[in-house]
Amino acid sequence: MAQAYVTETGSDGSGPERRGPRLRRLLDKLRRSLGSWRGDRGIWRRGLILAALALILALVMLLHAQIPNRIGNLGSLTETFLPWLGILIPVLLVLGLVRKSASALIAVVLPAIVWLNLFGGLLTDRTGAGGDLTVATHNVNAENPDPSGTARDVAASGADVVALEELKATAVPTYEKALAPTYRYHSVEGTVGLWSKYPMTGTEPVDIKLGWTRAMRATVTTPNGQVAVYVAHLPSVRVKLQAGFTARQRDRSADALGEAIAAESLQKVVLLGDLNGTMNDRALNAVTSQMRSTQGAAGSGFGFSWPASFPMARIDQIMVKGIEPVTSWTLPRTGSDHLPIAARVKLAATGS
């Protein structure tokens, strides 16, 4: 007796009975294409330029720290957008297939391995549960058309401590009014401010060699002990046709901020702010060498924060010292050109 088989098909006609033959045809086509390469004597000679480009890409990613900054700060510029070099890998792969070049296809494996070694860990979910302090930071943009709404959005994150950067003097009362119902304690120094649900003492500006105040420090007394909280907005960097990636002022400020944090007497330290640089940027070594990024340790993905319309780099940072990161995330877009970011940490942890 013949048996009848009934297979469910989706409304678009893409059920298993459609997908099966389609996949087999694709595999057959791929096998025929690869089979045609066997007798192709030029398979190793074609695509040598593509192979060379793949090797150069691998070397740039592998030796990025050796790219000099003397010419237009090229090294820091490369490190700022280093993860995006991975986009070139599938491009080279497709071109190698089109050219039917074994040399190019084998060479593409090298930058793929290097990229995965550098950033593969960021593709996994490293978030955890628990923690006893939630912090957030946001460059609110001096030209923000809705400071009150931005303040409410950040407060809605549930953060216990909030840092704001690029505060316009005329907008400070608006932020203070919007955040007052949630945060009992706050202080504004220059263009940066800190709001907290817990008592704050020892609030003072931090000199980052600018001539005006864009950094501050405060001691926040939480139920689990005192924490030194730094807020910083390092100078912007610029990409100019003649001067290249100019960042001397930012670099000097980063060094000064690193010195201040190194001299901190409290063991538990949190840094919140817009550092105008990524964790890969060597110019921030004075800070990054002694602190951990919450996104790198306990985030999910790259956590890009700027520009808000199409985030390409994480220049806003939450970093800790003597504290264990638990989870880190970006918040929804506000009226700023940056995305706010938040993290939850465990103060009971020791070590860095």
Percent with pLDDT over 70 in the chain: 86
Residue matched to tokens 């549930």: 158
CA 218 to mean position of chain CA atoms: 25
User: 133-346: what fold?
Assistant: Deoxyribonuclease I; Chain A (3.60.10)
Q: Quick one: average pLDDT of 166-189?
A: 97
Residue 7 has pLDDT above 50, yes or no: no
With beta carbons less than 8 A apart as the criterion, state whether 177 and 171 touch. no
* pLDDT, greater one: 1 or 125: 125
Q: Which of 188, 55, 181 minimizes the C-alpha distance to 109?
A: 55
Tens of pLDDT, residues 178-213:
999 999 999 999 999 999 999 999 999 999 999 899
pLDDT at 44: 81
Residue 220 has pLDDT above 50, yes or no: yes
* pLDDT, greater one: 266 or 21: 266
Q: Where in the chain is the domain with CATH 3.60.10.10?
A: 133-346
pLDDT at 338: 98
Specify the amino acid at residue 170.
T
pLDDT category at 125 given cuts 50, 70, 90 is confident
Tens of pLDDT, residues 269-284:
999 999 999 999 998 9
pLDDT at 239: 57
* pLDDT, greater one: 195 or 72: 195
pLDDT category at 5 given cuts 50, 70, 90 is very low
Q: Quick one: average pLDDT of 236-261?
A: 76
Tens of pLDDT, residues 310-352:
999 999 999 999 999 999 999 999 999 999 999 999 997 544 3
* pLDDT, greater one: 80 or 7: 80
Q: What is the mean pLDDT of the chain?
A: 88
* pLDDT, greater one: 300 or 342: 342
Tens of pLDDT, residues 76-114:
889 989 999 999 999 999 999 998 899 999 999 999 999
Cβ neighbours around 27 below 10 Å, total: 10
pLDDT at 73: 77
pLDDT at 46: 87
pLDDT category at 24 given cuts 50, 70, 90 is confident
pLDDT at 38: 60
pLDDT at 36: 59
* pTM: predicted TM-score of the whole model, two decimal places: 0.82
With beta carbons less than 8 A apart as the criterion, state whether 337 and 150 touch. no
Residue 293 has pLDDT above 70, yes or no: yes
